[in-house]
Amino acid sequence: MSEVVLFHHAQGLTPGVVAIADELRRAGHTVHTPDSYDGRTFETLEEGIGYAKEVGFGTIGERALAAAKGLPEELVYIGISLGVMPAQQLAQTRPGARSAVLLEACVPPAEFGSGWPEGVPVQVHGMDADPFFAGEGDIDAARELVKEAADGELFVYPGDRHLFVDSSLSTYDAEAATLAVRRIVDFLSR
């Protein structure tokens, strides 16, 4: 079974993020859920982004990266939206990455150096009309990434919700989230 680090989105380490971690644990994986917000969660995405701006996106990213330092090198990195940044950065730059799952966000592989590392499988999940994932170019970065990776998959779900995988938020889409988590569990079983 895999050892996983799951980075939360801009609303914090919500009960919905913990529920995803628990689902992966039930499948037999060890899952770490670092809290880059020091216990704070936010009712709205705007409030969460406001907090990240106030503290500094760089500081939030440094907290996430620091959380991985005490963990073994052979990890699966999973990020949700804002959490994709540290997940993708670590998967591309930290030796020993086993794989990565990027939920609801993606940046071009060149953002973190020379590109996606050889031998590191990746999955990307997002909605086709999500104003962030589809509207801000993340879906194009995801297409580029899975094309570059030897073992890359892009799953696009119908809908316009951002943070559709978080069961504790009003943006939750049960059907799409259930399918995404099932695909992640299958991916980690390989």
What are the pLDDT tens digits along the chain (190 aa)?
999 999 999 999 999 999 999 999 999 999 999 999 999 999 999 999 999 999 999 999 999 999 999 899 999 999 999 999 999 999 999 999 999 999 999 999 999 987 899 999 999 999 999 999 999 999 999 999 999 999 999 999 999 999 999 999 999 999 999 999 999 999 999 8
Q: What pLDDT does residue 131 have?
A: 97
Question: Which pairs from 21-24 meet CB under 8 Å and 24+ separation?
Answer: 23/181, 23/185, 24/181, 24/184, 24/185, 24/188
pTM strictly above 0.85: yes
Token pair listed for 38: 């020091």
Q: What domains can you pick out in the chain, each with its CATH number?
A: 3-189 (3.40.50.1820)
The radius of gyration computed from the CA coordinates of the chain, to the nearest angstrom, equals: 15
